[in-house]
């Protein structure tokens, strides 16, 4: 159970604004991958929440008549990466958000939540800065639009006024047309880690590809908020595309960045890699823009860790559409309040389909989906581990996508199709092919992580795609195996994939 004072579920954007006015101390919860984790850690204990998770009107990517690309604030990271508009015009943004957490986090985490939490390490933030993004906010006074550089006020604080919610992120046509970009995340791990430094670079080259018409350099974790390296940008405009000028632009970023010492890295180290990442990102952005660097660069390639995985695979993943059904049950209010002071529990009727069977139950609004599946339906394959979305043992399928059920509120399951490990078995208890593969490949050791890993494998296998071993490793990166049986797990998933595709 989550320690929350109250939960109010909004029916529309206007209703969300009304609820925030009626309950001025309430906080917005979108995907919950930040809010629920902080609540579990005690940072938001006892908070009153307004849930906008059910507002499908805030999901999706569209192009407006003037060419502006609009990203709904509730659009998940995984859907941004797979979106055809993003892939065609803003591929670097899809690549950047594909580095957030692990696959399950990217399925639930939203770009609105990632920007509204105000942290400098947000993987989407520096790239949105480089695209001159505009934040759309809706509140009691109507709609206002704020350039993203003005939206961030200080560490952990953004320009959200009382009663407002973020409804969209806009990228004007002039901000992306003719530009190519690249994002590098420097982190200690290739998944489930916060950036030590992030650098996003966009370039616009002259028609002959020999001159920088424009350069944009943006950083995360180089200061208390995401920032643009304006001196480096000014230094680059109009210069020829040469190795000497790339070095000049990269060295100039020290006039802008203001990193600090922390347990992740020292200020001096961050200053060093801020130059290094800028130069590497510039070279790749130039390559993508069709340019050629006239002088040979320094020998040696960037360490693989700097590229942080397969940043070029965004366009290869099969697009999936989550069927987001209405969460409003007939005769049941979507506004559910619990008052701790009176020791009263308020419940909501949740109707969903679990492992092919229609179910309905009254759930406590404080409960996670893990709680509901284990306590109400005895589906004990759904394990309780970290309960903050890091280990993956609670992983289940919801409308065809994998989620950490520990950071998914049970009330959000209304109208959803849910599958757990128990739903993979045949009518007489026979194992599915992926379950049998885990046995055959000795991928089961203590077995604690196994159900969650298998559910991630189900998402991979049902895509019908063939993935490389490195791609499979990334798709399984949201799991921690305490027995460190990763290679055998990869073997089981890879062999099952090839058998299904008739290649083994």
Does 141 fall in a domain?
yes
Question: Tens digit of pLDDT for each residue in 480-497?
Answer: 999 999 999 999 999 999
Q: What percent of the chain has pLDDT over 90?
A: 87
Q: In which band, very low, low, confident or very high, does the pLDDT at 318 lie, cut at 50, 70 and 90?
A: very low
What does 164-199 look like in DSSP terms, one character per residue?
A: -EEEEEEE-HHHHTT-EEEEEEE-SSSSS---SEEE
Contacts of 395 (CB under 8 A, 6+ apart): 104, 402, 403, 404, 405, 451, 452, 453, 455, 456, 478, 479
CA–CA dist 114, 441 (Å, integer)? 39
Whether residue 306 is predicted with pLDDT greater than 80 in this model: the reply is no
Let me know: does 396 contact 403? Beta carbons within 8 Å: yes
Q: Are residues 198 and 247 in the same domain?
A: yes
Q: Apex CA 165: angle with CA 144 and CA 402, to 5°?
A: 130
Q: If residue 350 lies in a helix (H) or strand (E), which one and from where to where? A: strand 347-354
Separation between Cα atoms, residue 502 and residue 61, nearest integer Å = 35
Q: Is residue 496 part of a domain?
A: yes
Quote the pLDDT of residue 189. 87
- The pLDDT score that the predictor gives to residue 492 is 98
Let me know whether 218 and 299 are in one domain: yes
For 192-235, the pLDDT digits (tens) are 999 999 999 999 999 999 999 999 999 999 999 999 999 999 99
Total domain count, the chain: 4
47 shares its domain with 66: no
Instruction: Map tokens 């580095």 to a residue.
Output: 99
Tokens 């901000």 identify what position?
175
On whether residue 332 sits in a domain, the answer given is: no
CATH, residue 17: 3.30.43.10
Domain region containing 436: 428-504
Distance from the Cα of residue 135 to its chain's centroid = 18
State the pairing for strand pair 69-72/165-171: antiparallel
pLDDT-based confidence at residue 273 (cuts at 50, 70, 90): very high
H or E element: which one contains 129?
helix 123-130
Query: How do strand 47-51 and strand 27-29 relate by DSSP bridges?
Result: parallel
- Average pLDDT of the residues in 32-59: 94
The reply to whether 205 and 144 lie within a common domain is no
Each residue of 234-264: pLDDT tens digit?
A: 999 999 999 999 999 999 999 999 999 999 8
Closest CA to 73 of 87, 62, 88, 82: 62
């Amino acid at each position: 159970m989550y320690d929350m004072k109250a939960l109010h579920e909004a029916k529309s954007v206007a209703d969300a604004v009304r609820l925030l006015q009626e309950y001025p101390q309430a906080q917005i919860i979108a995907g919950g991958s930040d809010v629920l984790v902080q609540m579990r850690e005690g940072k938001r204990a006892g908070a009153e929440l307004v849930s906008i998770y059910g507002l499908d009107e805030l999901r999706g990517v569209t192009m407006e008549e003037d060419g502006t690309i609009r990203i709904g604030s509730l659009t998940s990271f995984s859907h941004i990466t797979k979106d055809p508009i993003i892939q065609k015009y803003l591929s670097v943004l899809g690549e950047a958000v594909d580095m957030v957490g692990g696959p399950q986090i990217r399925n639930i985490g939203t770009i609105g939540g990632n920007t509204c939490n105000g942290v400098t390490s947000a993987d989407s933030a520096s790239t949105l800065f480089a695209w001159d993004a505009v934040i759309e906010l809706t509140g009691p006074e109507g709609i206002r639009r704020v350039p993203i550089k003005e939206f961030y006020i200080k560490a952990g604080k953004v320009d959200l006024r009382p009663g407002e919610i973020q409804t969209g992120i806009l990228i004007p046509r002039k901000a992306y047309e003719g530009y190519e970009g690249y994002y590098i995340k420097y982190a200690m791990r290739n998944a489930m880690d916060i950036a030590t430094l992030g650098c996003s670079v966009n370039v616009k080259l002259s028609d002959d590809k020999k001159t920088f018409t424009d350069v944009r350099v943006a950083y995360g974790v180089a200061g208390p908020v995401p920032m643009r390296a304006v001196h480096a940008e000014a230094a680059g405009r109009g210069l020829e595309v040469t190795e000497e000028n790339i070095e000049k632009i990269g060295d100039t970023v020290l006039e802008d960045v203001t990193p600090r010492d922390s347990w992740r890295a020292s200020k001096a180290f961050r200053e060093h890699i801020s130059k290094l990442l800028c130069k590497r990102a510039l070279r790749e952005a130039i390559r993508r823009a069709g340019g050629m660097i006239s002088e040979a660069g320094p020998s040696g390639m960037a360490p693989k860790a700097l590229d942080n995985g397969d940043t070029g695979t965004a366009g290869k993943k099969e697009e999936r559409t989550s069927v987001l059904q209405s969460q409003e049950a007939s005769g049941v209010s979507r506004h559910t309040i619990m008052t701790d002071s009176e020791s009263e529990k308020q419940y909501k009727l949740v109707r969903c389909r679990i492992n092919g069977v229609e179910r309905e139950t009254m759930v406590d609004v404080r409960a996670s989906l893990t709680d509901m599946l284990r306590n109400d339906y005895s589906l004990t394959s759904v394990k309780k581990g970290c309960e903050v979305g890091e280990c993956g043992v609670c992983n289940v399928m919801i409308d065809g996508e994998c989620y950490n059920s520990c950071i998914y509120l049970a009330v959000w399951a209304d109208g959803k199709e849910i599958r757990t490990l128990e739903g993979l078995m045949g009518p007489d208890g026979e194992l599915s092919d992926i379950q049998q593969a885990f046995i055959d490949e000795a991928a089961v050791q203590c077995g604690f992580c196994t159900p969650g890993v298998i559910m991630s494998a189900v998402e991979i296998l049902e895509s019908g795609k063939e993935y490389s071993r490195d791609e499979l490793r990334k798709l399984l990166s949201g799991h921690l195996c305490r027995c460190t049986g990763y290679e055998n797990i990869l073997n089981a998933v890879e062999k099952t994939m090839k058998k299904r595709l008739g290649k083994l």
